[in-house]
């Protein structure tokens, strides 16, 4: 088995410090979630940095506008594509 890493963006390595038992526990949790500790950290870093904030903002906007937009039926594909 061979692992090949392909990056489409520049990736910078960082070094973090933590207790060995905590790292092992985190690796086990990541494995239980079918991911790696590195992938879990990247996801956390995206969320922590606010990259996903625009998704929450969009969802909140859609929720606020829901009371102004009413759909009385399901539209056909042709109706939705009319210009």
Percent of all residues in the chain with a pLDDT value above 90, rounded to a whole number: 36
What average pLDDT score do residues 5-30 get? 88
The residue extents of the domains of the chain are 29-69
* pTM exceeding the 0.75 threshold for the entire prediction: no
Residue 18 confidence class, pLDDT cut points 50, 70, 90: very high
Contact assessment for residue 30 and residue 37, using Cβ atoms and an 8 Å cutoff: yes
Report the distance separating Cα 56 and Cα 44, nearest Å. Answer: 15
What average pLDDT score do residues 5-10 get? 71
Report the distance separating Cα 41 and Cα 54, nearest Å. Answer: 20
H-type alpha helices, the chain: 20-32, 37-49, 53-65, 77-81
Here the tokens at position 36 are 């790696």
Residue 78 confidence class, pLDDT cut points 50, 70, 90: very high
């Amino acid at each position: 088995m061979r692992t090949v890493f392909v990056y489409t963006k520049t990736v910078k390595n960082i070094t973090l410090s933590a207790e060995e038992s905590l790292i092992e526990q985190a690796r086990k949790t990541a494995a239980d979630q079918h991911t790696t500790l590195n992938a879990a950290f990247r996801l956390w870093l995206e969320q922590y940095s606010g990259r996903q904030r625009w998704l929450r903002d969009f969802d909140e906007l859609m929720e606020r506008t829901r009371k102004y937009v009413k759909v009385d039926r399901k539209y056909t594909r042709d109706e939705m594509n009319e210009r």
